[in-house]
């Protein structure tokens, strides 16, 4: 498709990546259309084989369609589609997100008034249990020294109820890919997501690269969305385990300070081994095998990813030393317990 002429562009593009999600589009596109007057809405389709294209054309004719030539996953799927999107700001939104009234205005206000802020995340609540935060991003993400991600509102499998404890605007380390706002010029300067990740952790990698270049990542509670979560690849799928463990190691290889690279990755491999033992004790043998596969896949491409390292790697990337220790040994189940 051809991009619109510059004079007719709105400030923000809402871009929904889709693969065989016709039912999700029917369920969730109406809220996006209803509450996104400030935006042009696109669906970037990863060569769906269901009725997705027909659903958009027949039921949502105002939505623009970008058709990728294959199922490129999350990372490359967005990279390919966003070549055709020229709005100043991108809102990358999962197909299982319900948005709320006025969800875009607070985001636009930050972008317009804070030039150093490149990436923003809204408050992410659980569509199936709207009183609680949602696993994928909660109220903004951080990582520990070993690259384990955690969120305000969710640490490992412990999810907090939303009692307005995170009704604020703060700087965070990573924003969830479920609903991810970024300036177009920054996205292109960073060459977008890393295609080789396929899916999972690519948004943390992108945020880390932005952080290393001095950009800020923000969370605002004034924008609220609800996320189903796991609609494409659920938590019980060993494929998800493989991608998360492999991509974490790849992300560390690309972004850690050089003097910390070997010791941190060595410790991370050992901690992953403990996670594998935990899966065995729970009878989740396929997940343990997925970790082993992830490690061998990492060994096969580690040199390739080492060459992707940028010029600058900041050392103050982590919030705490070990979220594993705080959670499992010190019983720090919620964000407030960590400090």
Q: Are 212 and 313 in contact (CB under 8 A)?
A: yes
The mean pLDDT value for 133-161 works out to 96
Radius of gyration from C-alpha coordinates of the chain: 19
Instruction: Give alpha helix (H) positions in 156-237.
Output: 184-189, 202-212
Mean pLDDT score of the chain: 95
Q: Are 42 and 13 in contact (CB under 8 A)?
A: yes
Q: Among 197, 41, 167, which residue's Cα sits nearest to residue 104?
A: 41
CA torsion through residues 15, 20, 21, 22, sign: positive
Instruction: Give alpha helix (H) positions in the chain.
Output: 22-34, 52-59, 73-81, 105-113, 184-189, 202-212, 238-255, 261-281, 285-306, 323-324
Residue 8's pLDDT is: 62
Q: Among 119, 118, 130, which residue's Cα sits nearest to residue 179?
A: 119
Residue 167's pLDDT is: 98
pLDDT, tens only, 274-297: 999 999 999 999 999 999 999 999
Residue 236's pLDDT is: 77
pLDDT, tens only, 47-56: 999 999 999 9
The mean pLDDT value for 84-103 works out to 98
Domains and CATH numbers, the chain: 12-227 (3.90.550.10), 238-319 (no CATH)
Residue 6: pLDDT over 80: no
Q: Among 248, 244, 258, 243, which residue's Cα sits nearest to residue 306?
A: 258
pLDDT, tens only, 169-193: 999 999 999 999 999 999 999 999 9
Residue 235: pLDDT over 90: no
Q: Among 68, 71, 72, 93, which residue's Cα sits nearest to residue 83?
A: 68
Pairing type for strands 154-155 and 129-133 reads unpaired
Q: Where are the beta strands (DSSP E) in 33-140?
A: 39-45, 64-67, 89-93, 97-99, 117-126, 129-133
Residue 339's pLDDT is: 85
The mean pLDDT value for 294-305 works out to 97
pLDDT, tens only, 8-31: 689 999 999 999 999 999 999 999
Residue 4's pLDDT is: 47
Residue 62's pLDDT is: 97
Buried b (16+ CB within 10 A) or exposed e, 240-267: bbbbbbbbbbbbbbbbbeeeebeebbee
What distances in angstroms separate CA 157 from CA 49, 90, 295, 305, 324, one per listed residue? 34, 30, 23, 30, 12
Cβ within 8 Å of residue 285, ≥6 positions away: 279
Residue 5: pLDDT over 90: no
Pairing type for strands 216-227 and 169-172 reads antiparallel
CA atoms within 13 A on the CB side of 198: 11
Helix or strand or coil: residue 233? coil
The mean pLDDT value for 147-160 works out to 96
Helix or strand or coil: residue 306? helix
Confidence of residue 234 (pLDDT cuts 50, 70, 90): low
d(CA 134, CA 127): 8
pTM metric for this prediction: 0.94
């Amino acid at each position: 498709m051809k991009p619109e002429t510059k004079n007719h562009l709105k400030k923000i593009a809402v871009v929904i990546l889709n693969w065989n999600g016709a039912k999700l589009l029917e369920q969730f596109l109406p809220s996006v259309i209803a509450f996104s007057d400030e935006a042009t809405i696109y669906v970037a389709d990863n060569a769906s084989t269901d009725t997705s294209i027909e659903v958009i054309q027949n039921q949502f004719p105002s939505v623009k369609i970008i058709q990728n030539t294959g199922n490129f996953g999350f990372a490359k799927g967005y990279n390919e589609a966003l070549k055709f999107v020229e709005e100043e700001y991108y809102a990358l939104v999962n197909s299982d997100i319900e948005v709320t009234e006025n969800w875009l205005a607070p985001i636009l206000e930050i972008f317009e008034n804070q030039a150093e802020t490149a990436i923003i995340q809204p408050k992410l609540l659980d569509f199936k249990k709207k009183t609680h935060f949602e696993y994928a991003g909660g109220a903004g993400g951080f990582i520990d020294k070993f690259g384990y991600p955690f969120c305000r509102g969710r640490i490992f499998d412990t999810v907090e109820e939303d009692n307005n404890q995170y009704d604020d605007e703060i700087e965070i380390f990573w924003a969830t890919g479920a609903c991810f706002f970024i300036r177009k010029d920054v996205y292109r300067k960073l060459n977008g997501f890393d295609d080789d990740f396929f899916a999972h952790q690519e948004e943390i990698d992108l945020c880390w690269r932005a952080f290393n270049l001095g950009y800020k990542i923000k969370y605002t509670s004034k924008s609220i969305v609800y996320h189903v979560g796991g609609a494409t690849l659920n938590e019980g799928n060993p494929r998800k385990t493989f991608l998360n463990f492999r991509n974490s190691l790849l992300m560390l290889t690309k972004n850690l300070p050089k003097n910390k690279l070997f010791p941190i990755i060595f410790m991370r491999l050992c901690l992953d081994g403990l996670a594998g033992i935990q899966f065995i004790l729970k009878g989740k043998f396929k997940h343990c095998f997925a970790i082993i596969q992830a490690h061998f896949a990492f060994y096969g491409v580690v040199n390739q990813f080492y060459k992707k390292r940028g010029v600058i790697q900041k050392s103050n990337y982590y919030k705490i030393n070990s979220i594993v220790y705080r959670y499992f040994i010190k019983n720090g189940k919620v964000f407030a317990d960590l400090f």
